[in-house]
Amino acid sequence: MGIKGSSTRQVFFENVKVPVENVLGEIGKGHLIAFNALNIGRFKLGAMCAGAGRTVTTKAVQYANERIQFDQPIGNFGAIQYKLAEMAIRTFAAESMSFRISQQMQDKKAAATAEGKSYGQSMLEAAEEYAIECSILKVYGSEVIDYCVDENVQIHGGIGFSEEYTAARAYRDSRINRIYEGTNEINRLLMVDQLLRRAMKGKLDIVNPAWAVQKELSSMPSMDRPEGPYAEEHKAVGDFKKIVLMCAGAAAKMQMDGKLNLKEEQEILMNCADMLIDLYAAESMLHRVQKLSAFEQKAQPQEVYDAMLQVFLHDATQRMSKNATDALVSFADGDLLKTFLMGVKRFLKYPPVNVKEKRRMVAAALRNANQWAF
């Protein structure tokens, strides 16, 4: 073993014998250890960004409550309330995703351990199983904290740009999160690539569900509206899945037919990735909010959690529509494109929400608590 280099030192191993009990995984498959270490790193980064979002939101709320302008706290102004509420909603979504993925990986690890597999192998399988979700959380969490630190500087005004205040440091430190553990662009490409690879290997069935969506498009739409608690929200999430299946399935089919090379169509993959992110975030929020509805004791009245969910779904519906449309017009044309665009309009019909009042409700909860309140 030798050490080479001057200012930066590198360690090289030559003819070093490693005891059998110290070998990680299988010989010749060390790359699997490295890849899944990245998956865990992406999960941790996304979770840390969610935690940082809580802290930054608290700083923004406290300043909005104490800063007086025109004889009143700037938190009284609708423009500031919008920022506070949006910081909270996006952070709540990232936090919901991190809770969900954590539980999913724990369950997978426990199941593998129960089968007699080692701790290391169990961890490896859990990280590999939820690699797509880890990438989703990494991308979403890092972009949420970037939004939060940016709005925090804006709320602080001029002093937010001064290094004497924490707003400037948070703004500067946040930027790296979109780069390490794989850039957000790489992670977006990876999540779609892994989804399609699993489908090709038969590990994940997207062909039959995608075909079912195609058949639904050729049938008469139902005029019935869902009934029951969170029925509209469940329908919205279900429709998001249909949109993802429609777009990704159609693109994959055209690739199999030799009409499209997705390796050269990164814009389409980015559209699909953003739809996956919105889908997973919406479903995670829905699960969490619905569980909270059964709790007697919680930080806020249920209507506040419902407001966050409704605003997120309202906005996500618009994003899904744009991403789906952008993807479809990039590879389809003629009658096929018309059919797909009809599907976009058919599946994205979450009822209109008074987002102004809902956001003001969320902002009021923050301002009354003078800190993160959920």
Please work out, in degrees rounded to the nearest 5, the angle formed at the alpha carbon of residue 278 by the alpha carbons of 168 and 340: 140
Catalytic residue among 181, 216, 233, 303: 181
HSE at residue 155, side-chain half, CA atoms within 13 A, is 36
Q: Could you give the CA distance from residue 148 to residue 54 in angstroms, rounded to a whole number?
A: 9
- Lookup: tokens for 83: 């920022």
User: Does the active-site annotation cover 296?
Assistant: no
Number of neighbours of residue 372 by Cβ within 10 angstroms: 22
Contact 359, 86 (CB under 8 A): yes
Residue 362, amino acid:
V
Determine whether 128 is exposed, middle or buried from the number of CB atoms within 10 Å of its CB (0-12, 13-18, 19+).
middle
Q: Could you give the CA distance from residue 313 to residue 285 in angstroms, rounded to a whole number?
A: 9
Q: Which residues contact 273 (CB under 8 A, 6 or more apart)?
A: 139, 188, 189, 191, 192
Instruction: State the DSSP string of 10-42.
Output: EEE--S----GGG--SSTT-HHHHHHHHHHHHH
Q: Which residues are catalytic?
A: 181
